[in-house]
């Protein structure tokens, strides 16, 4: 079976990721495509720029549609692989090959499919499918996908959804814009988040909070605080989420006055009992060098949990008050609270600063023994730090080698750091080798190693690392706005209802491959059968057994020229007498014609004709191998001889069957 020769379907598209501007997106996209592939002819049809189905109005007005359709014709004798080719083509149009899309009645329900994928935890597949179909989906579907991206922190995927909206010309409503804003703010892309924020007609508290939190998380605390004041001026009352961000910002900036003011607002709003807010407040006071106030907030808090306790313990740790750290930790335990991983990290860090090796070991072991918490790589690294700081490098090395997380770079990084104080160069080299193997592309690691070499005055090594870093700096990450758009689109498949050989509502190849379809008497009934809305969503229409449709020409010309559809037609070019079937009428309006060949049943050579083995003379006679056989020219011409041979074979077979019976 020959495959069809179609223009390339895959293109890398650069989508402006900041500003939604359909006209811009089109021009930049086509420009980019031209640069990537000089032979590429920009096809406006691929990028839907209008959110409404303009095809409806233009069609009804009788005007030419802006999208450009295509007609591809697959012809040949019976058994040549026409249906197989059509089927493969349709499948590749409707999915990217990795996903078995739900195709019912020959029509892919994209919204339903995407939601189902999302609900079954296959978010990435859903996004791939969304991008590959290049199709518009409804707000609800976009919302579900975006929400899942935010929840799973799949920010890059979220951006792909946004890019897809831009491509198909979907204008997000206020609700979706806020979702996008949250996504961008959380991912750290505050510029885009701000553009979206400015687009909001009425920014609500959620959008203000998302922006403030985004700035604070990104380390732009001042901007976050400024936005908080703007929000207050606009008349909004902050909630627990606002306060958490504000206290965090004040803690980092150590701006006690602003923190205290916000604390005053908090008291007025009576959200004082919130655990997360109180923890942030305690942290703020400690970081602003007011341990007394931090302690006061802690004592006054009516409700406490492990986070509140850990904030207090961590606060003491920040001030180097190792004794208080351990006291608070013990008090926490005695009051019946269970420490978590973070609490232990703070305690181990305090032990490191206090040079408390034995205590460190005790706390480290008690994690598993008393609390069933498996120490993570950071706890192991903290232990390495404790050992390293106290000069027990060999012990630290053995500990690293036997650690279950020995394949995590952080633990080797800790060993390099430890070596800086008391270490020997041999150990640095071993640790560095491992370190690079595990995380070669992290710039931070090179810096750590470079510093370690510098400690030992190994300037050659320092220079080598720096030049490596330079090269690394030149290597750019692929931009997230670059997406692969393989042209997978919504498809509908039609066949003639006359052909019920292998199934009523599916096209079936001679070797059993199937695909659901619309069995129609006349193509003119298609639009009405699937409904106008669904018709507009369909981008690719496959037609099998096209020779049986009398209105093939009219349908194809309208679908391609006016409605911008890609029509793929498969059918017999000639009948058993080699007279043309109606399929040939569409050759003048086709973009491509592929003539497939079968294998001659007599000699095995390429076959381009269909021989009818029986004596029936009507033109249309639906049947399979019992009546027809593909033949080469020679065996078509000597058809009568062939027919006789065929009859003889059939007779011999029935005789054999009879004698067996």
Provide the annotated active-site residues. Answer: 545
DSSP states along 510-531? TT--EEE-EEES-GGGHHHHH-
Instruction: Give, for 606, the enclosing helix (H) or strand (E).
Output: strand 606-607
Which residues 543-562 are close enough to bind ligand LXEULUCI by CB under 6 A? 545
Angstrom CA distances, 337 to 331, 627, 639, stand at: 9, 84, 93
Q: Does 609 bind ligand LXEULUCI (CB under 6 A)?
A: no
# binding residues, ligand LXEULUCI (CB under 6 A): 16
How many CB atoms within 10 Å of residue 167? Answer: 24
Phi, psi (degrees; rounded to nearest 5) at 648: -60, -45
Build a one-symbol-per-residue string for 500-519: x at contacts with ligand LXEULUCI by CB under 6 A, - elsewhere.
-x------------------
Residue 145 C-beta: closest distance to ligand ADP, Å: 37
Does 284 bind ligand LXEULUCI (CB under 6 A)? Our answer is no
Tokens of 107: 């029509």
Asked if residue 223 binds ligand LXEULUCI (CB under 6 A), the reply is: no
Based on the shown chain and the rule CB under 6 A, indicate whether residue 595 belongs to the binding site for ligand ADP. Answer: no
- Residue 1 interacts with ligand ADP (CB under 6 A)? yes
Q: Which of 25, 84, 242, 594 binds ligand ADP (CB under 6 A)?
A: 84
Closer to ligand ADP by Cβ: residue 102 or 595? 595
User: With binding defined as CB under 6 A, does residue 177 bind ligand ADP?
Assistant: no
Dihedral sign for Cα 617, 620, 623, 625, please: positive
* 502 burial level (CB within 10 Å; 0-12, 13-18, 19+): middle
Place of tokens 């005007």: 63
Nearest distance in Å: CB 572, ligand LXEULUCI: 5
Q: For residue 499, state whether it binds ligand LXEULUCI (rule: CB under 6 A).
A: yes
Contact 608, 595 (CB under 8 A): yes
Q: Does 576 bind ligand LXEULUCI (CB under 6 A)?
A: yes
How many helices (H) and strands (E) in the chain? 30, 16
Is residue 499 involved in binding ligand ADP (CB under 6 A)?
no
From CA 249, how far away is CA 226, in angstroms rounded? 11
CA 163 to chain centre: 11
Q: Give, in order, the Cα–Cα distances in Å from 517 to each of 20, 126, 219, 511, 642.
A: 38, 24, 56, 18, 36
Interaction partner, residue 601 (ligand LXEULUCI, ligand ADP, none; CB < 5-8 Å by kind): ligand ADP
Using CB under 6 A as the binding rule, whether residue 610 contacts ligand ADP is answered as: no
- What's the CA gap between 538 and 522, in Å, rounded? 18
| 425 touches ligand LXEULUCI (CB under 6 A) | no
407 contributes a contact to ligand LXEULUCI by CB under 6 A: no
Yes or no: say if 114 and 130 are a contact pair by the CB < 8 Å rule: yes
Footprint on residues 78-117 left by ligand LXEULUCI (CB under 6 A): 78, 82-83
Of 82 and 597, which has the nearer Cβ to ligand LXEULUCI? 82
511 binds ligand ADP (CB under 6 A): yes
364 binds ligand LXEULUCI (CB under 6 A): no
The contacts of residue 357 (CB under 8 Å, 6+ apart) are 351, 386, 387, 390, 392
Q: Give kind and range of the element (H or E) at residue 543.
A: strand 540-544
Q: Which stretch binds ligand ADP (CB under 6 A): 78-86, 95-103, 119-127, 520-528?
A: 78-86
Q: Which of 288, 348, 448, 572 binds ligand LXEULUCI (CB under 6 A)?
A: 572
State which of positions 90-149 bind ligand ADP (CB under 6 A).
Answer: none
Structure letter (DSSP) for residue 661: -
Q: Could you list the residues that contact ligand ADP (CB under 6 A)?
A: 1, 78-84, 509-511, 598-599, 601, 630
Q: Could you list the residues that contact ligand LXEULUCI (CB under 6 A)?
A: 78, 82-83, 499, 501, 545, 572, 575-576, 610, 619-623, 628
């Amino acid at each position: 079976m020959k495959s069809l020769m179609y223009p390339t379907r895959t293109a890398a598209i650069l989508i402006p990721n900041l500003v939604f501007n359909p006209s811009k997106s089109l021009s930049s996209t086509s420009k980019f495509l031209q640069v990537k592939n000089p032979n590429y002819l920009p096809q406006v049809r691929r990028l839907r720029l209008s959110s409404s189905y303009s095809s409806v109005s233009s069609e009804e007005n009788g005007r030419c549609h802006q999208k450009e359709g295509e007609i591809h014709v697959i012809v040949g004798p019976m058994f040549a692989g026409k249906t197989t080719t059509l089927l493969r083509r349709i499948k590749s149009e409707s999915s990217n090959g990795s996903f078995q899309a739900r195709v019912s009645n020959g029509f892919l329900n994209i919204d339903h499919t995407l939601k189902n994928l999302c609900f079954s935890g296959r978010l990435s597949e859903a996004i791939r499918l969304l991008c590959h179909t290049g199709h518009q989906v409804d707000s609800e579907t976009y919302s579900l996908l975006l929400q899942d991206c935010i929840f799973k922190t799949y920010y890059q995927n979220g951006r792909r959804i946004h890019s897809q909206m831009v491509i198909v010309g979907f204008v997000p409503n206020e609700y979706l814009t806020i979702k996008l804003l949250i996504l961008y703010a959380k991912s750290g892309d505050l510029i885009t988040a701000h553009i979206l924020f400015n687009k909001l007609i009425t920014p609500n508290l959620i959008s203000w909070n998302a922006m403030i939190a985004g700035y604070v998380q990104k380390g732009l605390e001042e901007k976050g605080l400024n936005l908080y004041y703007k929000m207050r001026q606009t008349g909004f009352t902050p909630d627990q989420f606002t306060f958490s961000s504000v206290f965090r910002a004040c803690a980092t900036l150590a701006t006690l006055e602003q923190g205290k003011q916000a604390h005053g607002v908090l008291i007025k709003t009576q959200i004082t009992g919130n655990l997360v807010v109180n923890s942030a407040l305690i942290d703020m006071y400690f970081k602003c060098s007011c341990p007394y106030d931090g302690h006061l907030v802690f004592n006054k808090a009516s409700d406490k949990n492990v986070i509140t306790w850990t904030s207090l313990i961590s606060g003491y740790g920040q001030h180097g008050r190792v004794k208080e750290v351990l006291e608070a930790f013990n008090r926490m335990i005695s009051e019946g609270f269970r420490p978590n991983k973070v609490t232990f990290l703070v305690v181990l860090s305090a032990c490191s600063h206090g040079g408390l090796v034995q205590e460190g070991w005790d706390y480290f072991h008690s994690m598993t023994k008393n609390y069933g918490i498996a120490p993570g790589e950071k706890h192991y690294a903290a232990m390495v730090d404790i050992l390293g700081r106290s000069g027990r490098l060999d012990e630290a090395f053995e500990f690293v080698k036997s650690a279950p997380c020995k394949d995590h770079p952080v633990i080797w990084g800790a060993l390099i750091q430890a070596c800086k104080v008391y270490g020997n160069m041999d150990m640095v080299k071993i640790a560095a080798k491992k370190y690079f193997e595990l995380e070669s592309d992290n710039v931070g690691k090179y810096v750590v190693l470079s510093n370690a070499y510098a400690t030992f005055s190994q300037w050659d090594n320092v220079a080598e690392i720096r030049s490596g870093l330079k090269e690394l700096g030149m290597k750019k990450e692929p931009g997230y706005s670059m997406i692969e758009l393989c042209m997978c689109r919504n498809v509908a498949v039609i066949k003639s209802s006359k052909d019920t050989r292998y199934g009523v509502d599916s096209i079936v190849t001679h070797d059993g491959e199937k695909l659901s379809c619309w069995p129609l008497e006349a193509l003119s009934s298609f639009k009405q059968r699937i409904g106008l809305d669904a018709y507009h969503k369909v981008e690719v229409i496959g037609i099998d057994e096209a020779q049986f449709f009398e209105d093939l020409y009219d349908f194809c010309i309208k679908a391609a020229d006016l409605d911008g559809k890609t029509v793929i037609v498969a059918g017999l070019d000639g009948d058993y007498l080699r007279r043309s079937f109606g399929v040939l009428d569409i050759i003048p309006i086709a973009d491509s014609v592929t003539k497939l060949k079968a294998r001659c049943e007599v000699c095995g050579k390429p076959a381009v004709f269909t021989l009818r083995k029986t004596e029936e003379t009507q033109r249309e006679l639906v049947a399979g191998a019992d009546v027809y056989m593909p033949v080469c020219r020679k065996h078509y011409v000597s058809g009568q001889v062939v027919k006789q041979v065929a009859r003889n074979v059939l007779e011999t077979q029935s005789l054999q069957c009879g004698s067996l019976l």
